[in-house]
Homo-oligomer: A and B are copies of this chain.
Amino acid sequence: MEEIISYHHLREFTHEVFIHMGCSVEHAALASEVLVSADLRGIDSHGVARLSGYVRLWEAGRINAKPDIRIVHETPSTAVVDGDAGLGLVVAPFAMQVAIEKAAVAGTGWVSVKNSNHFGIAGYHAMKALDRDMIGMAMTNASPLVAPTFSKERMLGTNPIAVAIPAKEQPPFVADFATTTAANGKLEILQRKNEDAPYGWIQDKDGHPSTNPHELKNGGALLPLGGDREHGSHKGYCLGAIVDIFSAVLSGANYGPWAPPFVSFLPLAPDPVGEGLGHFFGAMRVDAFRPADEFKAHMDTWISRFRSATPVEGKQVLIPGDPEREMQQHRLDNGVPVLAPVVKDLKEVAAKFNLNF
């Protein structure tokens, strides 16, 4: 049901596809690095499984392969970036770099982005701050699949938040999570296996709890982190809303139910409230608060204390980022397992551009 493919082969193939879409060599290299970092880190739903989706959006004229990405407004610690409908995979690194450069001078940098597209995994962008001794943050809005508490309608995306924090001897703290109970990728796994989802992940078209993983096709919705009101779904709704507003209302992108769909067969909203999809990035120099070495030594203490917390029997307390870092090392060494339908998809993309896969 799956094929093991080396990271480098996936990287090179993806690079070639972006070149054939008309991207510059620099953009193709960057976009392929960002995209395939998802496969490396074990977030398979956001990696090469999405490559054919990007190609179809480009064919539909919704992605500009030669964008003029630029700052349209700025202050010492902020900027708004217009992605010119480019690949989010290249728009996001540009914007994150602006945040980092602002932070180098003003202590922190905050960049809201409009007119972009899906940017891969949020964690990749947040982690760019680490080797500058900065805390990095990244978030994005996304196609509406999530119903706020008490709503039948899908109003928000899975709107992820990533925060990366440097340590000294310990590996960094890297949180990267959708603001829903379960990421859409987890639901896709259950759909493929035709297995029930736990209560609290999805609701049906009337807003009733459901365990049917195919419910989204019937007008159902993903649920905000918390699952239901009694378990704090209003808090997950708040988080998704904050990501939406920082990413899209601050920048001038489409927000809420107006966020453009990732799939090219769904139409864009006829009455857009902004341009494209939105992201939000932040960088904070740790020495804008206390000496970097002192901060990082305390992060070591924080991490080792939490990692050694008395665990529930048979378990271990993890530090955010631990599983993905281990997965990355494993897959760099042993290759990436790619599911048969994704391999088929990639072969079709290859054929389209006269490439080998």
- B317, A181: Cβ atoms closer than 8 Å: no
Q: Which of B257, B301, B315 contacts A305 (CB 8 A)?
A: B257
- B76, A76: Cβ atoms closer than 8 Å: yes
Query: A273 at interface (Cβ–Cβ under 8 A)?
Result: yes
Query: A302 at interface (Cβ–Cβ under 8 A)?
Result: yes
Stretch of A4-12, A83-91, A238-246 lying at the B interface? A238-246
- B234, A225: Cβ atoms closer than 8 Å: no
Q: Which residue of B lies closest to A308 (CB)?
A: B153
Q: Which of B80, B200, B207 contacts A313 (CB 8 A)?
A: B207
Segment 268-316 of A: residues with Cβ below 8 Å from B: 273-274, 284-286, 288-290, 294-295, 298-299, 301-302, 305-306, 309-313, 315-316
- A306, B155: Cβ atoms closer than 8 Å: yes
Query: A235 at interface (Cβ–Cβ under 8 A)?
Result: yes
Q: Which of B155, B175, B238 contacts A241 (CB 8 A)?
A: B175
Query: A157 at interface (Cβ–Cβ under 8 A)?
Result: no
What is the 8 Å Cβ interface bit string for chain A, positions 164-184, against chain B (1 contact, 0 not)? 010000000101011111100
A146 shortest CB reach to chain B, Å: 11
Query: A42 at interface (Cβ–Cβ under 8 A)?
Result: no
- B312, A206: Cβ atoms closer than 8 Å: yes
Q: In the assembled complex, which residues on chain B have CB atoms less than 8 Å from the CB atom of A175?
A: 238, 241-242
Q: Which of B155, B230, B285 contacts A309 (CB 8 A)?
A: B155
Segment 175-213 of A: residues with Cβ below 8 Å from B: 175, 177-182, 198, 200-201, 206-208
Query: A18 at interface (Cβ–Cβ under 8 A)?
Result: no
A340 shortest CB reach to chain B, Å: 27
Stretch of A23-31, A105-113, A344-352 lying at the B interface? A105-113
- Asked, given contacts A77-B288, A226-B226, A320-B241, whether A231 binds B200 with beta carbons under 8 Å apart, the answer is yes
Chain A interface (Cβ < 8 Å from any Cβ of B)? 73, 75-78, 80, 105-108, 110, 112, 147-153, 155, 163, 165, 173, 175, 177-182, 198, 200-201, 206-208, 225-227, 230-232, 234-239, 241-242, 244-245, 249-252, 255-257, 273-274, 284-286, 288-290, 294-295, 298-299, 301-302, 305-306, 309-313, 315-318, 320
Q: Which 7 pairs between the two chains have the least Cβ-Cβ distance?
A: A75-B107, A207-B312, A175-B238, A150-B315, A78-B107, A78-B288, A77-B77
